[in-house]
Amino acid sequence: MIEEVLSNPALENRPLGEQVSYQLKLFEFDPFWEPRYCVYQGRTRWDDAAGETVWDEEESERFLTLQEAQAKYDLRRADLAGRGFTLSDMEW
């Protein structure tokens, strides 16, 4: 339903290993499962040792209504923006 990657413009010129971004998404988990809607947040960063991007700090919550899930999504997005993660891959 909604999925975006948020990055911090202050980190753009730092070495790849020091850059992080967050994925934030709201989706319908399963139309036959309660609670039905899920809000997910995960951090991605470059791992030199692994030679690839790795995910950590993953969190998800489920909600009965789309309105509850949207409110939580908005709160998480505002929290990330407050920490400087304001560039979205959805804004072009």
The answer to whether residue 91 sits within a structural domain is no
The answer to whether residue 43 sits within a structural domain is yes
The answer to whether residue 46 sits within a structural domain is yes
Count of structural domains, the chain: 1
- The structure's pTM equals 0.85
Nearest Cα residue to 41 out of 6, 91, 87, 88: 6
pLDDT in tens, 54-92: 998 899 999 999 999 999 999 999 999 999 999 898 865
The answer to whether residue 89 sits within a structural domain is no
pLDDT in tens, 51-60: 888 998 899 9
The answer to whether residue 90 sits within a structural domain is no
Nearest Cα residue to 15 out of 40, 48, 38, 60: 48
Residue 13: domain span: 2-84
